[in-house]
Structure formats: structure tokens, C-alpha cells
């Protein structure tokens, strides 16, 4: 008997997994809803040229669970979901494809809201918005939150400052070397902030134009993609795709901390355990990169209340998320546990509490 979805190592009691195909536009999409315990599932839409549908499925299952944890740690009234569109974002995008995707979202009835992610843009989301209300991260209108990248980068930057205070006993990045893997939207904003705070930067990316722009603005040293693991640096900041912390890269890294914007940085949970054993501080990815989803959440709040995007609300939530990050680091020391396990425990407790309350309310209705 062949393997089923439920046999996947990435299946984690997801509430729903939905596949959509539109022959006319070529849309092939998968939406995974991990949990709606805290509210409608919210998460980005990734367009990637996956080698197979099976690979796309594994990715969306992992990413959607990560969104449940990210939204819970950020204390947002949102559950976790994610969507992937199979295709080359450079050559296979079209307005019609994203409108087809929007119509697919209508079929989920508000159980999942999409936003931009790797391979998609606020313009793509705006195209889907023409046919569905179930998208967030718009660029126009009083409630629009726009590109979440600057707020994501701000959270990662502040997390690097927390790491600098804890490990290096300093309040800025002066004299510290940060190796940034990926200088696209978030990575470029992060590089600018770290440069202004005094850090020396070593960068890599598969896009030469991105590299040239960031190097010109910050004086960063450029290295080949695979060489980033071997450079002498204090902090490694993965800001591209996930799973770059794995058995092949672990022995090559010479850093004291990992603090970056990428999702699913640990190839497996065991890698987090090994980083802890080696004395490398790991900043849990879904904690430090939560600024973007906080930004998106403000748009949902505004839409539900009929109000406008609230930058002060975003700042308050981001500040409290940094408090949670500091709590995770402190508990890791006190409890002698890896940071990723502390973060997971906080997220799981919040998701369970919301689920229990939801069940009680349904029982009483």
C-alpha cells in the first residue's frame, strides 16, 4: 500500500490540506491549514519551482505548522496556515493565475487568509484581492499594511541586538561580523540596519543584482553561496530558504550565534539540540521573524473593525515579542534546555489554551 498524506513526517494533525488546479491559467496550488484554534489561519503564499508535488506538500505542511507557532508566540488572534504555488515565479506568473488562486481561496470560506511570501509580491496579492477578501498585505487603502519585509527585518535586527547584549556585552553591533545568507527584501533591509549599527557584513545570494546593491550601500564583503558557512563571523543570519542548519553545514559554521529571518532554519529538531550542546545560541526563527505577520495582523484588525492600519499597535506587539525572545533565552539558561524547545513549549501552551477555550464555548453553545 502506498504512502498517504497522513504518513508524511511533516503531517502534524493538520486540520485541512487542500489542492487546487486551474487548467486555463496553469495554477497548481496547495493550501495547508494547521490550526484555527486561535483564529482564522493566516500565512504567506510561496511560489516555487518545486521538483515534485510531493516536495511542495512537505514544504507547505512544515511551513503551515510554523505559522501556527509564529502567530501564537506573537500572541496574535490568528491560527496557522500556508500556501504554495508550484511554478517558476520568474516566468510563470500572470494576473490571471493569481485571480484563479483568489477564487480557490473563496472555497475555503475564510478558514485561511493568504499574504505574500517567497516568489510572490504585494502586487500579486492585490491581483487576488480583485476576486477574494481572503488575502492580506495590501498596498492600497486605509487598512493596508503593505510590504511586511521592513517590519520583519526590524524584528530580526532587534533580536541581533539582544544577542549582542547577551553574548558580547554591548548595546550595538560595533566590531561584530554578521554573515547574511540571502539579501532579498528582508535580508537587504536587515543588512542596512546592521551596517548602521556598526556591524561588518559578509553576504551571499544567488541574485547578483541584490549582492551588488547591498555591497554598494554597506561595504559588505561578497562570498559565493556555499562559502557563507565557512567564513569567520560572530553571527550567522540565514535570510533565504530553510533547512540551512543541517548535518552538512553544522561542522563548518564558526559562529557564536544564529539569528536570521528564514523560516524552518533547522533541518531537524536534533540540529537545534546539537547547536545548544556546542554552545551556539540559536534564535528561534519563528520568534525573531515575527514582525512581518504582526504587520499583517494589523491589517486584519483594521478590516474587521472598519478602522485603519495602526503602526503603534504593530510597535507594541513587536516590543512584546522581543520581551518573549528575552524570556526564551533566559529560560534556556535557567532550565538548561535548547531555545527552540522553550519557544515550542510557549507556542504549544498558547495554542492548547485557545483550543480548550474554543471547545468549551462550543460545548456551552
Residues 125 and 196 both lie in one domain = no
Residue 269: closest CA among 10, 25, 4, 6: 10
Residues 125 and 229 both lie in one domain = no
Residues 161 and 53 both lie in one domain = no
Give residue-wise pLDDT tens across range 239-292. 998 899 999 999 999 999 999 999 999 999 999 999 999 999 999 999 999 999
If one counts every other C-beta atom within 10 angstroms of the C-beta of residue 292, the result is 29
Q: How high is the pLDDT of residue 3? A: 67
Residues 108 and 209 both lie in one domain = no
Has residue 120 been placed in a domain? yes
Has residue 139 been placed in a domain? no
pLDDT tops 80 at residue 345: yes
Give residue-wise pLDDT tens across range 107-146. 999 999 999 998 999 999 999 999 999 999 999 999 999 9
- Beta-ladder partners of 114: 43, 135
List Cβ neighbours of 316 (8 Å cut-off, separation of 6 or more).
none
DSSP state of 220: P
Q: Supply the CATH number for residue 27's domain.
A: 3.40.50.10860
Has residue 355 been placed in a domain? no
Residues 192 and 335 both lie in one domain = yes
Mean per-residue pLDDT, 163-174: 98
Has residue 243 been placed in a domain? yes
What's the number of domains the chain is made of? 2
Residues 187 and 329 both lie in one domain = yes
Q: How far apart are the first and last CA of the chain?
A: 42
Residues 110 and 158 both lie in one domain = no
Q: Supply the CATH number for residue 220's domain.
A: 3.40.50.720
Where in the sequence numbering do the catalytic residues fall? 82
pLDDT tops 70 at residue 95: yes
Residues 180 and 213 both lie in one domain = yes
Residues 100 and 199 both lie in one domain = no
Residues 227 and 336 both lie in one domain = yes
Which is it for strands 16-22 and 27-35: parallel, antiparallel or unpaired? antiparallel
Query: With left for phi above 0 and alpha for psi between -120 and 50, is residue 146 left, alpha or beta?
Result: left
Residues 184 and 331 both lie in one domain = yes
Contacts from 356-363 at CB under 8 Å and sequence distance 24+? Answer: 358/37
Has residue 23 been placed in a domain? yes
What's the domain range around 182? 149-289+324-347
**Average per-residue pLDDT in the chain?**
96
Mean per-residue pLDDT, 36-48: 97
Residues 220 and 178 both lie in one domain = yes
Has residue 342 been placed in a domain? yes
Q: How high is the pLDDT of residue 1? A: 37
Residue located via cell numbers 520568474: 90
- Single pTM value for the model: 0.94
Amino acid at each position: 500500500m502506498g504512502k498517504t498524506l497522513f504518513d508524511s513526517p511533516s503531517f502534524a494533525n493538520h486540520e485541512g490540506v487542500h489542492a487546487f488546479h486551474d487548467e486555463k491559467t496553469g495554477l497548481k496550488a496547495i493550501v495547508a491549514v494547521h490550526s484555527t484554534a486561535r483564529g482564522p489561519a493566516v500565512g504567506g503564499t510561496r511560489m516555487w519551482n518545486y521538483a515534485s508535488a510531493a516536495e511542495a506538500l512537505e514544504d507547505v505542511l512544515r511551513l503551515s505548522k510554523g505559522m501556527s507557532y509564529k502567530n501564537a508566540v506573537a500572541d496574535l488572534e490568528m491560527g496557522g496556515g500556508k500556501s504554495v504555488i508550484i511554478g517558476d515565479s520568474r516566468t510563470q506568473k500572470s494576473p490571471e493565475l493569481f485571480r484563479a488562486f483568489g477564487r480557490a481561496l473563496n472555497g475555503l470560506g475564510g478558514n485561511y487568509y493568504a499574504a505574500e511570501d517567497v516568489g510572490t509580491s504585494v502586487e500579486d496579492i492585490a491581483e487576488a484581492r480583485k476576486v477574494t477578501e481572503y488575502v492580506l498585505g495590501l498596498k492600497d487603502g486605509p487598512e493596508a499594511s503593505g510590504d511586511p519585509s521592513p517590519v520583519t527585518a526590524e524584528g530580526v535586527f532587534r533580536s541581533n541586538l539582544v544577542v549582542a547584549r547577551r553574548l558580547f556585552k554591548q548595546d550595538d553591533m560595533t566590531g561584530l561580523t554578521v554573515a547574511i545568507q540571502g539579501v532579498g527584501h528582508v535580508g537587504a533591509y536587515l543588512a542596512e540596519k546592521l551596517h548602521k549599527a556598526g556591524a561588518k557584513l559578509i553576504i551571499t545570494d544567488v541574485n547578483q543584482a541584490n549582492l551588488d546593491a547591498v555591497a554598494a550601500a554597506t561595504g559588505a564583503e561578497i562570498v559565493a553561496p556555499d562559502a557563507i558557512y565557512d567564513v569567520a563571523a560572530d553571527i550567522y543570519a540565514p535570510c533565504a530558504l530553510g533547512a540551512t542548519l543541517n548535518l552538512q553545514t553544522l561542522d563548518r559554521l564558526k559562529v557564536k550565534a544564529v539569528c536570521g529571518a528564514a523560516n524552518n532554519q533547522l533541518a531537524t529538531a536534533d540540529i537545534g539540540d546539537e547547536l545548544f550542546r556546542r554552545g551556539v545560541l540559536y534564535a528561534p526563527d519563528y520568534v525573531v521573524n515575527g514582525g512581518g505577520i504582526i504587520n499583517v495582523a494589523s491589517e486584519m484588525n483594521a478590516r474587521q473593525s472598519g478602522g485603519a492600519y495602526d503602526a503603534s499597535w504593530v510597535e507594541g506587539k513587536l516590543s512584546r515579542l522581543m520581551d518573549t525572545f528575552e524570556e526564551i533565552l533566559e529560560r534556556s539558561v535557567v532550565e538548561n534546555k535548547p531555545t527552540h524547545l522553550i519557544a515550542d513549549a510557549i507556542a504549544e501552551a498558547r495554542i492548547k489554551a485557545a483550543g480548550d477555550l474554543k471547545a468549551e464555548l462550543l460545548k456551552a453553545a
